[in-house]
Amino acid sequence: MLRLVVRRLLQLIPTLLGLSVLLFLWLNRLPGGPASAILGERATEAEVARINRALGLDEPVHVQYWRFLKRIFELDLGTSVQTGQPVWDEFTRAFPATVELSVAAILIAVVLGIPMGYLAAKHRGGWLDVASVSGSLLGICIPVFFLAVLLRGIFSVQLQWFPSQGRLDSGLNATDVTGFAVLDGLLTGEFDASWNAIMHLILPAVALASIPLAVIVRMTRASVLEVLGEDYIRTAESKGLDKRVVRGRHVLRNALLPVITAVGLLTGSLLSGAVLTESVFDFGGLGSFIRTAIDGRDYPVLVGFILFIAMVYVIINLLVDLAYSIIDPRVRVH
Amino acid sequence: MTILTNKADKIDRLAELTQSSEAVTGTSLWREAFRRMRSSKMAIIGAAIIAAFVLVAIVGPMLAPHGPTAQNWRSEVFPNQGKFVGMRGENWFGLDHLGRDMFSRWLVGARQTLLVGVVSMLIGLIIGAAVGILSGAAATLGGKVGQRVDTVIMRVTDIMLSLPSLLLAVSIAAVLGQSLTTVMIAVGVVQIPIFARLLRGSMLVQGGADYVLAAKAVGIRRKRIVLTQILPNSLSPVIVQATLSLATAIIEAAALSYLGLGNPDPAVPEWGVMLSQAQRFFDNEPMMAAYPAIGIIITALGFTLLGEAMREALDPKLRG
């Protein structure tokens, strides 16, 4: 197990290094370079030269890259052009909201998706199957932001069942402990705050869950179908095992392997989806933050964000691989 | 199992589909697939949607009753107040917040949307295929040096695949500025690694086939083997992916528009831009957003259905 972890960690190095090279080149190839991104288009040459010197952009490329890398290791992702705050601080402040939203979305997707996929496979060709397959196709084809706007329009503006924006009602005086609104309420005993946060979470999470849900339903269905056709299922059934045992130990356990991988790796698409949903609901996480950065062409924030997301993504990949090796002992050997 | 699996795995699975059924059935892969697709409801519905969409996109703008920017101030239009004039005699979809005929804009938008989808898919396809051919050829016939070239190329595509695609598109679009070309490039570049990995994968599968060995044995030049033998046999997954990519491209273009990176020119409305503009008025006038949204959803659905049906038709595992 330890060897596996170490090997996976070592494999991360070339990926992250490559990524840092790409981002470094990208940052340096900005039209007019970072100087004019900071100063705007009307900058004079003297000003550009001053900024370039200040940022060390007049030095050889490899020196610049080395410094770029060193800064990343020190978790110094630069300063936001718009707010003047260090990018890293802004991220760590906004990240809990995004995590909370993503976790809620994944929960919805898994809790609904796996049973739906399983039932669809079990009753292949029936109405449930047709409904869940076409539903999941539709789920992939609806632009996430439109779904978010639609849900908000129907359930918070028209029906007023849910709040339409933010993470907590503004009048609510909730104590901030971890940055996770729901958890904070539970920790401090302010259950009304938790409940309030959950109500705020539901609509964005449902919108965000649409794509993962669609993917999970389809994967579970395909995977269960494949397993149901295996010889060992016939064997298990013909030796008279209890149906529940066959279902739990033989079908689900084998069928869920690829689904688990998919769930973990859906994080990437979740994070992009979060950018869109959060800005519809003004949720205040990384997504809302990035939306402002895009509008303001805040390059340090964008570069930092991509690097940050890539790191998160890669780490989740690692965790998924490890989870996989616990469930499927065959993987461990290699 | 290595890291970065999901997208890569999916692509590799698709690449394996070139292992044709020739040995089994004796007919060509595509003829067999076509026969299976004719009986697939998914394929027929998908193809019908696409045909209708392409027809609207080509003919529609010519038939549009009004210009896309022609404004009608006579009636109850209040600029930017979100007052929406609903369906009526000459304006089938009503007028938008600036008094422009929604139906005409929708028709013109269909063409723009098709254009964005096709061009960005082609950007991804052409560059990705070039990279894939290079990598695949190097890996199968290039010897030791070739394999090293292949490894380097694949590492780079792995890195690109490791990023959430929308964010990659956003970062490209943010650099290039707001325009139609930007959207097409941004959405297209994201597709490059997918096509590259896919074509390389299916070329590797084909590279091990007996007919390649035979061609080598009779002394055909390597370049010729790649171009006339391996490549044509490796294309089917690429065609499937291209169809699916059209759906993704249209949705991602809409997302970029929503993030404020879409085409700002009002004379060439694209569904994504129309949708993101209608967003502001959604709470009062949902229909304004509904028209472009339905256009996007149905079109994306058409390409997804056809693509999935083709994938199923080509997959030997599902044959039977």
Query: Does residue A137 fall inside a structural domain?
Result: yes
pLDDT at B9 over 60: yes
- Can you give the pLDDT at residue A333? 46
Q: Which of A62-71, A141-150, B297-306 has the least mean pLDDT?
A: A62-71
**How far away is chain B from the Cα of A49, in angstroms, using its nearest Cα?**
21
Q: Does A279 fall in a domain?
A: yes
Within a domain: B306: yes
User: Residue A148 pLDDT more than 80?
Assistant: yes
Which residues in chain B (284-303) have CB-CB distances under 8 A to chain A?
286, 289, 293, 296-297, 300-301
- SS3 string of A86-149? EHHHHHHHHHHHHHHHHHHHHHHHHHHHHHHHHHHHHCCCCHHHHHHHHHHHHHHHCCHHHHHH
Segments in chain A forming alpha helices (H) = 2-28, 33-39, 45-55, 61-73, 87-122, 127-141, 144-151, 181-188, 191-228, 231-238, 243-245, 253-265, 267-281, 286-295, 299-327, 329-333
Residues in chain B closer than 8 A to A272 (CB atoms): 164-167
Distance CA B157, CA B142 (A): 19
Domain count, chain B: 1
pTM of the predicted structure, to 2 decimals: 0.79
Question: What amino acid is encoded at B317 in this protein?
Answer: K
Q: Which residues of A touch B308 (CB under 8 A)?
A: 137
Is the CB of B158 less than 8 angstroms away from the CB of A314? no
Q: Does B315 touch chain A (CB under 8 A)?
A: no
Worst-scoring range by mean pLDDT, A166-170, B104-108, B122-126? A166-170
A-proximal residues of B, 25-54, CB under 8 Å: none
**Contact list, B158 vs chain A (CB under 8 Å):** 15
**Mean pLDDT throughout A288-297?**
76
| Whole-number pLDDT of residue B244 | 87
Q: A299 to chain B: which residues are within 8 Å by CB?
A: 174
Span A78-127, pLDDT tens digits: 777 777 778 788 788 888 888 888 888 988 998 998 888 888 888 887 88
Mutate to test the interface with A, among B153, B160, B171 (most CBs of A within 10 A): B171
pLDDT at A28 over 80: no
Answer yes or no: is B259 within a domain: yes
Reply yes or no on whether the pLDDT at A132 is more than 80. Answer: yes
pLDDT higher than 90, residue B126: yes
Residue B140 located in a structural domain? yes
Q: What average pLDDT does the segment B44-57 reach?
A: 89
Q: How many structural domains does chain A have?
A: 1
Is the pLDDT reported for residue A153 higher than 70?
yes
Q: What percent of chain B has pLDDT over 90?
A: 6
Mean residue pLDDT of chain A comes to 77
Q: What is the CATH number of the domain that holds B267?
A: 1.10.3720.10
Least confident span in A27-36, A263-272, B21-30, B60-69: B21-30
A49 neighbors A39 (Cβ within 8 angstroms) = no
Is residue B51 situated within a structural domain? no
From CA A121, how far away is CA A216, in angstroms rounded?
A: 13
Complete DSSP assignment for B121-174: HHHHHHHHHHHHHHHHHHHHHSHHHHHHHHHHHHHHHHHHHTS-HHHHHHHHHH
Residue B277, domain member (yes or no): yes
On the question of pLDDT at B24 being above 50, the answer is: no
Confidence band (pLDDT; 50, 70, 90) for B22?
very low
- So what's the ipTM on this one? 0.77
Tell me the mean pLDDT in the region B28-34. 72
> For residue range A212-250, what is the model confidence (pLDDT) as tens digits?
888 888 888 888 888 877 788 888 888 878 877 777 777
pLDDT band for B4, please (50, 70, 90 cuts).
very low
Instruction: Tell me which residue range forms the domain holding B119.
Output: 56-77+87-318
Q: Is the pLDDT of residue B195 over 80?
A: yes
The answer to whether position A215 is within a domain reads yes
Chain B stretch 228-247, residues whose beta carbon is closer than 8 A to a beta carbon of chain A: 247
Predicted pLDDT at B21: 46
Chain B residues within 8 A of A321 when measuring between CB atoms: 1, 3, 5
pLDDT > 90? residue A130: no
Q: Is residue B196's pLDDT more than 70?
A: yes
- Inter-chain contact B158–A143, Cβ cutoff 8 Å? no
Residue B99 tokens read as 């008094």
Share of chain A above pLDDT 70, in %: 84
Candidates A22, A143, A306; nearest CB to B296: A143
The mean of the pLDDT values for chain B is: 78
Chain A residues touching residue B276 (CB < 8 angstroms): 145
Residue A141 to residue B174, Cβ atoms within 8 A: no
| Chain B residue nearest residue A328, CA to CA | B1
Q: Percent of chain B at pLDDT above 70?
A: 80
Determine the average pLDDT of the residues in A304-328. 74
Q: Which domain holds residue A225?
A: 95-144+204-329
B133-145 pLDDT, tens digit each: 888 888 877 778 8
Q: Do A11 and B2 touch (CB under 8 A)?
A: yes
Predicted confidence (pLDDT) at residue A167 exceeds the cutoff of 80: no
pLDDT at site B18: 65
Contact B320/A at CB under 8 A: no
Does residue B218 fall inside a structural domain?
yes
Chain A residues with CB inside 8 Å of B254's CB? 143, 145-146
> Which residues of chain A make contact with B162, given a CB cutoff of 8 A?
15, 19, 268, 310, 313-314, 317
CA distance B224 to chain A (A): 34
Q: Domain containing A104 — which CATH number?
A: 1.10.3720.10
